[in-house]
Amino acid sequence: MLLDENALTPLQQAVVTATNDRDNLTLFINGRAGTGKTTAVQQRLLHLLRAGEPAYTILVLVGDPAQRDSFSDTIRSSDIGSFAELKLVHYSQLAREMVILFWPLVARDAGFAAAFRPPTFLGYDLAQLLMWQTIQPLLDSGAFVDLRLRPQQIVSQLLDTLNRAALNNLDIFAATQRQIDTWAGEPDHVRNLMQARDAAIAFRERCLDNNLLDLSLTTATFNQHVLAHPEFSRYFSERFRHLIVDNVEEQTPAGQAFIAQLLDKTVSTTIVYDTDGGYRRFLAADPVGSADFEKVATETFVFTESFTAQDSVNALAAVVKGALQGVPVPQAVTTAQTGVISVISERYRREMVFALADELAKLVYEKGFHPRDIAIIAPYLDGAVRYSLTQALKQVGLPTNAVRRRASPREEPRVRAWLTWLALAHPDWGIFPTTFDVAEALTLSIAGLDPARAALVTQHLYRPNTLVLHDSAELTEPIADRIGVELLTLVDKIRVWLAENGGAYPLDQFIYQLFNDLLAGRDFQPEPDIAGAAVCDWLVRTASYLVESGSRLGLNTPAAIGQAFLNSINQGLISSNPPDTGDPPDPDGIVITTIYGFLLRSQAARVQVWLDTAASGWWDIPRQPLSNAFVLAQSWNPERAWTMAEEIDIRNELLARLVRGLSARCHDGIILATSDLDRRGARQDGALWRALAPVLSDPLVSSL
């Protein structure tokens, strides 16, 4: 955002122009969200650049990758010209770049078997695949049998433990011992933790033997070897003169240690601390440790004036916090009630969604709100909720901007369909789609072939035990007539193409050719298949990464690569970049996101919808018996047991912090939307809904 310096408050102006007669100026900016802290440091960045400081000498470290856009937009809209050499990164990205840069100097000491070869970095998708390969023998021998977790959940929790350990500067053994020492449940669970340790060690050994770096090993290599190398100290001090850290409370102990090490190497360091932040605690963020930077600051600025939240919305957060902590604040109730625009309470979820769409339509069409002024915030967004919301809003003419993060690709029907054809084209891989899989694939591949006739085709032409799709000429005349000659011609066309091209291409190229040479044809899809193209693009990119890294993962044949590709997706492994098959998000549309997705965007909304307000998801924390994020935190006393009382306290603390963070990013008011029954038909009465009881006890009057 391009601002006239006269538009800044005196406090913001003081941050922008702060200087010192000597080096090592450290500014600590403290305050709630919405008080103008980030605006101040962004304008300070512009001030440095306008004063002639080369972009090359400035490092901006953000708390979450999503926050880079705000800085980029500010610079892009300014008059400073090129800023390509500005280093604007998240800590994990910086660690990866520095490991690449210093690889020849640190690889051998870090324990990699082939220091003379370049590293291969594993994204989350490939890290899951490697962990899945690692634990398969353990699962076959009965490991983790009493946890009642899906294999994908075990994989993700093992990776979480490795990542949290590295980001808290713990090794695998120390992380395991912490979880054992703090465990207060059944003693038998210790066996699971020891098995998790063995799996993590085996995974790490495979990485070291093959120069593979997941997030945890990248972080450990950077922390323990790059930072300790004298050449890094010289490189940094000669490269970077100014350091700007936004949302330091979202940094991990590893990131905070990195920042602390640099304070005496810079001309200036500016650190922004959100007093209500620390939302990335599940990703090892440490808001407790980050506050310590105030102790070493040259100058501290405390921001208190809110530019976003009204007193009524702040009062709402105060009421919720008081209820959760058992300290009611009745004097805030009346003010809090004016912060609630309306309450939508229906018996069923579907009714709630359509009632909400009507309410938002009134805000836009009758009260002058722009769709982008509104954010729908949910504790979780499964595909069904996301779809029903976008469809209901589309019916009333409102655009949407749905934010997605991780998802399981197998939940997308077209992904399953394309993988079905991949398996049928490669019978030597030994992966057997069911009759349902083939029928679904036919329905999605051939426009006009309904599920009933697709099931009929499959019933008569597909043999799952032999992976053979037979010629439609084998059908009796009555059956063929029921299906239709034109549709059967296309079924045969698929069968012939798969038979002719199964072994003709590498995995990624086969998927590309399957869609572009066959399934995207006008005879199969008269209208452009945009969703199919998105799925094809994701599958090709994912397959390409696997093909490139196959040998490092022990996949030395095309069949091994293909089997691993199919099995990993079929097992439900999560993608950090899932295919988006719906309408493209509209940047001017109503934001649809999760709580954390909204909070980490560092953006505000005039109106927030707290969706499923009575759902337990607002208060829940992930069930992770193999990876407790809280006891793995450096700030947790390892002699303190993790009991049910501790868990309830942390749930209440997190919910109060989340509500406080949301209220600080809301200008006009809140819409509460809930249903009596959840998607499974169970009655809802979650902690947030109960905490709001004082506000809901009297009629609500909209102030808009």
Query: Which tens digit of pLDDT belongs to each residue from 563-622?
Result: 999 988 888 777 767 776 666 778 899 999 999 889 887 788 999 999 999 999 999 988
Residues 557 and 418 in one domain: yes
- Give the pLDDT of residue 659: 94
Residues 130 and 260 in one domain: no
Gap between the Cα atoms of 154 and 300, Å rounded: 44
CA 413 from chain centre, in angstroms, equals: 21
Question: Is residue 294 within 8 Å of residue 52, measured between CB atoms?
Answer: no
Question: Is residue 523 within 8 Å of residue 494, measured between CB atoms?
Answer: no
- Give the pLDDT of residue 704: 36
Residues 124 and 199 in one domain: yes
Question: Is residue 135 within 8 Å of residue 161, measured between CB atoms?
Answer: no
Question: Is residue 475 within 8 Å of residue 487, measured between CB atoms?
Answer: no
Beta strands in 35-74 (DSSP E): 58-62
Tokens found for residue 105: 């100097």
Gap between the Cα atoms of 645 and 651, Å rounded: 10
Q: What confidence tens digit (pLDDT) does each residue in 29-59 have?
A: 999 888 999 999 999 999 999 988 998 999 9
- Which of 538, 570, 602 terminates a domain? The answer is 570
- Give the pLDDT of residue 699: 46
Residues 429 and 503 in one domain: yes
Q: Which residues contact 240 (CB under 8 A, 6 or more apart)?
A: 57, 58, 59, 87, 262, 265, 266
Residues 670 and 636 in one domain: yes
- Give the pLDDT of residue 69: 84
Beta strands in 464-589 (DSSP E): 468-469
- Give the pLDDT of residue 355: 96
Domain count, the chain: 4
Q: In 3D, which of 40, 62, 95 has the Cα closest to residue 249?
A: 62
Question: Is residue 277 within 8 Å of residue 249, measured between CB atoms?
Answer: yes
Residues 185 and 228 in one domain: no
- Which of 210, 238, 261 terminates a domain? The answer is 210
Q: In 3D, which of 667, 669, 675 has the Cα closest to residue 695?
A: 669
Residues 353 and 485 in one domain: no
- Which of 261, 281, 303 terminates a domain? The answer is 303
SS3 136: helix
Residues 429 and 541 in one domain: yes
Gap between the Cα atoms of 389 and 380, Å rounded: 13
Evaluate whether residue 21 is within a structural domain. Answer: yes
The parent domain of residue 626 ranges over 311-403+585-696
Question: Is residue 3 within 8 Å of residue 38, measured between CB atoms?
Answer: no
The CATH number linked to 250 is 3.40.50.300
Tokens found for residue 404: 């997605």
Largest CA distance in the chain: 94
- Give the pLDDT of residue 151: 86
Place of tokens 């030597």: 428
- Give the pLDDT of residue 592: 94
Gap between the Cα atoms of 369 and 571, Å rounded: 44
Residues 448 and 595 in one domain: no
Residues 438 and 373 in one domain: no
Question: Is residue 244 within 8 Å of residue 270, measured between CB atoms?
Answer: yes
Strand partners, 666: 605
Low-confidence ranges of the chain (pLDDT < 70): 1-6, 21-22, 81-84, 404-407, 576, 580-583, 698-704
Q: Which residues contact 648 (CB under 8 A, 6 or more apart)?
A: none
Scored b (16 or more CB within 10 A) or e, 522-549 reads eebbeeebebbbbbbebbbebbbbbbeb
Other CB atoms within a 10 A radius of the CB of residue 233 amount to 14
Q: Which residues contact 537 (CB under 8 A, 6 or more apart)?
A: 579
Evaluate whether residue 317 is within a structural domain. Answer: yes
